[in-house]
Amino acid sequence: MQLKTQTRPKVLTVSVMEDRIDAATAIQFKERMREVTRAGDQRVVLDLARVQFLDSSGLGAIVAVKKMLGPARPLELSGLTATVEKVFRLTRMDSIFTIHSSIEVAASHAAGT
């Protein structure tokens, strides 16, 4: 699972560089997220702009990362494609996560602009 990280003021952005998070990749996704978020205390924005498919295992993995980070370190989402957004809406997870239209919007929100 390839992830690209960028540390910005008050936020760590993590871009998923794969087109799917599913049963075949969910465990690897969680392990990589644990590695890249280990240090730091800033908010984490997960950019899903490249992800075209997300199944229940992938959704579970994202929820597990949110729980792993805990309440003091929010996990926010950005760049959801239409199919991924539909999964979040149908499962009502869109009410659990803060969702930004793009990683740029999420980063500017973090900077307080």
**What are the structural domains of the chain?**
3-111 (3.30.750.24)
DSSP 88-104: HHHTTGGGTS-EESSHH
Kindly provide the residue ranges of all beta strands, DSSP E only, lying in 1-113, ordered along the sequence.
Answer: 3-8, 11-16, 20-21, 43-47, 53-54, 75-78, 99-100
Tens of pLDDT along the chain (113 residues) come to 999 999 887 899 999 999 999 999 999 999 999 999 998 788 999 999 999 999 999 999 999 999 999 988 999 999 999 999 999 999 999 999 999 999 888 888 754 44
pTM of the model: 0.91
Reduced to 3 states, what is the DSSP secondary structure of residue 1? coil
The C-alpha atoms of residue 83 and residue 61 are separated, in whole angstroms, by 17
